[in-house]
Amino acid sequence: MKKAIKHILEFRRLYLLLLVTASVFCLFSSCMDTTLPSDTNPYVLTANTFVANPADTTNRALLGGVTVRVYDLDVDPNTPLQETVTDNYGQVKFNLKIPLIGKRYRIAATYDTVTKVISIDICGNDTVDFLFLRIDCANVCPEFSEDGTNYIQFGAPMLIDTLSDRPDNRVYISPSPVNPSTVTKFIEVINPDTSCSAISFKITIEPVVNDSNRIYENPTQYYTIDPENFVLQPRQRRLVSITFRAPIKDTLDAVTMRRNKQSIIDSMFAVRLRISTSVNCTQDLDIYSIVTAVPNLSPIINLRAYDQKTPQKPVAEHEVYFFGNGSRTINPTGEYPPLKGDIWIDVDDNNASATPPQEPILKLVPSSGIIGRKVWRTNFPENSFYNVVQLISDFQNDPAHSVGYVNSELRGIQVGDVIAFRLGPDSYTLIYIRRIDNGTEQTSSKQSGIEFRAISGIYVN
């Protein structure tokens, strides 16, 4: 009997020993990082802070500017080990060295006069969340605007818009991969709240099945959004840009041939955007662009002589023109002759003492890469030049459209001249001369120059 009792007592001692051993093993196995030989391991503690109305704590917003303190309860429970403030995303990170068996910390977050405290055992990367309640916190949905005046609250029916910078609502094909044709639309987003905290935004491109009105084909290839992620504090606003990059002609031809439809959407490229927020409000946008191979007719361009001074214009300007632009450009560096631009106007004497008339001389900027120029037509009717489709057809059907180009200066320019520029093996620009100034006219500057309209980027296969 005594032996039996002795065996039972031995069994109980063994059982208790195994139980303690298992408990210690569990503690070590849950906290120990065996990949590091040190007795402490570096870990990151992340604190997130939010604010919400007590009536709806699920509709919370990010809360920046909250002071967060970390206390080491084993060292000094009254003095913060680390202290910092949450960023616009309502987040802060602390780098801690944790013993292999873990460590207990107290985390305190203070917003206005309210302090919330969490005590946790940390033995690895960990996260704590603090939610502050405010009765006046509405967490209203953000708003957006296309023109900066008319604001629409998120959750409205899908916005549908065309991306174009032309009167015909089209986008011109890209002349080359390195010289793309792009158009950008800006949408202003505002956090209209006055008492809650930050709202985070995320913009994504949504997959959409093509419909009879729009074709969503490889939208990430043609559209870019900037920024894709951002945060707005109360009453803050920012612009979001949506940029369409048109394909080159070979790509456009391949796409339309594959679609094999005789309709306007053959050359359409669309994207559906979704703007999601941290306050559970979303807004969908449907954006599309129709690509055309017919270049746009430029506005009237008045190009004055580069670096020419007159008694009326004692400080010279340095005007150049880039083909495809809607206006002339001032070369800020002002070197003579210019190193930037496509064409410019020169005179024989650009000093203020020169006596007009001074003939405007059209010259090519060497760095432009333009192969050459020639006068393609003289005494050409202005209205005929404005019929872009017919003009391009006439130019393409001219057997001599690709010959006779020189890269020397052009004198003797006349009103009604159509001057052709060869940009590459199959790319051209045409300009129509509307007016010639030699300095004798009744102008405010008495400068020489030309007035013209341009059709840039004509492709001839």
Is residue 321 within 8 Å of 341, Cβ to Cβ?
yes
Which tokens in the block code for residue 153? Answer: 């609250």
Measure CA 13 to chain center: 71
Three-state SS for 196-217 is CCCEEEEEEECCCCCCCCCCCC
Which tokens in the block code for residue 231? Answer: 């945060």
Q: What is the DSSP letter of 370?
A: -
Q: Specify the 3-state DSSP secondary structure of 407.
A: coil
Q: What angle do CA 60, 274, 227 make, to 5 degrees?
A: 85
Whether the pTM exceeds 0.75: the reply is no
Distance CA(423)–CA(426), nearest Å, equals 8
Distance CA(452)–CA(385), nearest Å, equals 11
Q: 282-292 and 159-162 as β-strands: parallel, antiparallel, unpaired? A: parallel
- Please give the pLDDT value at position 9: 47
Q: Which of 146, 457, 134, 163 is nearest to 322 (CA)?
A: 457
Q: Which of 177, 407, 205, 447 is nearest to 305 (CA)?
A: 447
- Please give the pLDDT value at position 194: 72
For 304-336, the pLDDT digits (tens) are 999 999 999 999 999 999 998 889 999 988 999
Longest Cα–Cα distance of the chain, Å, equals: 136
State which residues of the chain have pLDDT below 70: 1-39, 260-265, 461
Taking 3-state DSSP, the helix, strand and coil percentages for the chain, each rounded to the nearest 5, stand at 15, 45, 45
Residue with tokens 């872009």: 388
Q: What angle do CA 86, 88, 90 make, to 5 degrees?
A: 45
Which tokens in the block code for residue 245? Answer: 């990059």
Domain ranges in the chain are: 40-133, 143-292, 301-459
CATH topology identical between 40-133 and 143-292? yes
Q: What is the DSSP letter of 295?
A: P
For 203-231, the pLDDT digits (tens) are 999 988 877 778 888 899 999 999 999 99
The burial class, CB within 10 Å (0-12 / 13-18 / 19+), for 110 is middle
Backbone dihedral region for residue 222 (phi beyond 0: left; psi -120 to 50: alpha; all else: beta): alpha
Architecture of domain 40-133: Sandwich (2.60)
Is residue 93 within 8 Å of 46, Cβ to Cβ?
yes
Is residue 110 within 8 Å of 102, Cβ to Cβ?
no
Give φ, ψ of 96 to 5 degrees: -125, 150
Measure CA 397 to chain center: 41
Give φ, ψ of 385 to 5 degrees: -70, -30
Asked whether the CA dihedral 277, 280, 283, 284 is positive or negative, the reply is positive
Residue with tokens 């496509």: 342
For 83-137, the pLDDT digits (tens) are 999 988 899 999 999 988 889 999 999 998 899 999 999 989 999 999 999 887 8
Is residue 423 within 8 Å of 343, Cβ to Cβ?
no
Q: Which CATH superfamily is domain 143-292 in?
A: Immunoglobulins (2.60.40.10)
Q: Specify the 3-state DSSP secondary structure of 189.
A: strand
Give, for 240, the enclosing helix (H) or strand (E). Answer: strand 237-245
